[in-house]
Structure formats: structure tokens, C-alpha cells
Chains A and B, each alone.
Chain A
């Protein structure tokens, strides 16, 4: 069955370190998204991609970057982790304008 996976599921890191969160989907979807979920804010869009070599900034993109070298993967990199980036991160994919399929999430703690 097609799926979308995220790794690691839990990560603890220190302020200033570079961190990369992986997202892999086997739906063969062109669209992929990264969100962060924080209490009182719901899901906020960090970056998104509509296809290979395409990346776009979302509403909370500062301090984050993504790259899309193939259809299946959209890794999210925190260049220099900050305590404000402690959050739960969700990756999602979709085809066209249909609903999005979400991964299980990565809980990131920055100490």
C-alpha cells in the first residue's frame, strides 16, 4: 500500500545544530508540504513543492530549507536549530488539488 513516512519520529537536539527531518512518500504525488503544529496555531505551512526541483516558502519558512531532488522525498533542514523550533512537524503529499495525505509526524525538541 502507498504511504507517507517520516523519520525520525522523535528527535532531541541542541541549539545551533543543523537538523534534517526526512519525509518519504510512495503515492507518486507531485505536491509535498511541510507543516509545524503548535498549540493555538494549528498547522502552519513551512515549505512546499509542486514537483522535482520546485520549492516554495510558506508562512513560517524562516530558519528552514527544503530540497526536492526526486518525487518521493522532501527533506526539511533546520540550518541552526532554535528553541522556538521545538514543535511537532508533519509532512503531507497530494495530487493536484485533492486532499492531502499526512505522515505520522516528528516531535522535535531543541534544548
Chain B
């Protein structure tokens, strides 16, 4: 049973437009959410995070939105650039439980066309 779901395996966007990547979770104990970016032949790198006490967190071109009632979060990239083409993983953890395990989604491959 996947606790973190990314239902879109891939997304294609034109350069300069907005990219929206979605993520759903099922475990109400999750209180910290992260997005990681992965290029081929490299390890994932941390992109942005959000705590469950917030509904939005912004860092430059990247914004993460959290809707706790819907158990849904999204990553917005504006404007999208060809260098953003990568696999994006949504991840969730439960800080309240005292552990540091993180559950990852299956990933969404973003293609940004020039």
C-alpha cells in the first residue's frame, strides 16, 4: 500500500510556462513533506519542504502548496526552464513519531521543452 502517491509518471511543459507536479498521501501522521529532484546517473537532491503547520512555502521559482484536508500537495515551478527536466520525488515523514524515516513517491518525470 503506497502511502505517498504520484499518479502522473511524466509531464511535458513548454519553457517559460508553469509546471505543476502533484502528490497525494494517505497517512494522517505525516507532518513534514519534501520534494527532491533527480537527474540521470545522480542521486536525488533536496529541493524544497513544507511543514504541516503551513499551507505554502516559496523558494525562488519553486512553490509547494499543502492541502491537509485533501491530503494533497503540489510543486509549482514558474517559469519552467529546460534545466528543470528531471525526475521529481515527493516525500513525507512524521516528525511527531520521533523517527526520521521518509516515505517516497514513485516520482514524476518532467520534460521542459525549449
Contact = CB atoms under 8 A, between A and B. Distances in A.
A42 B106 contact: yes
Interface string A38-63: 00111111001010000000100000
A102 B44 CA distance: 6
B102 interface: yes
B104 interface: yes
Contacts of B59: none
Interface in A88-102: 90, 92, 94, 96-97, 99-102
11 contacts: A33-B101, A40-B106, A42-B106, A43-B44, A45-B102, A45-B103, A48-B101, A90-B44, A97-B100, A104-B41, A105-B42
Contacts of A103: 43
A104 B43 contact: yes
Contacts of B104: 35, 42-44
A34 to B, nearest CB: 12
Interface of B: 4, 6, 9, 32, 34, 36, 41-46, 49, 89, 93, 95, 100-107
A14 B42 CA distance: 25
Contact of B93 (A41, A43, A97, A105): A97
Contact of A45 (B95, B101, B105): B101
Range of interface residues on A (Cβ < 8 Å): 20 to 34
Contacts of A71: none
B43 A102 contact: yes
Contacts of B49: 99
B101 A100 contact: no
A90 B95 CA distance: 23
A61 to B, nearest CB: 13
A96 B101 contact: no
Contacts of B4: 42
A94 B102 CA distance: 11
B89 A99 contact: no
A100 B105 CA distance: 15
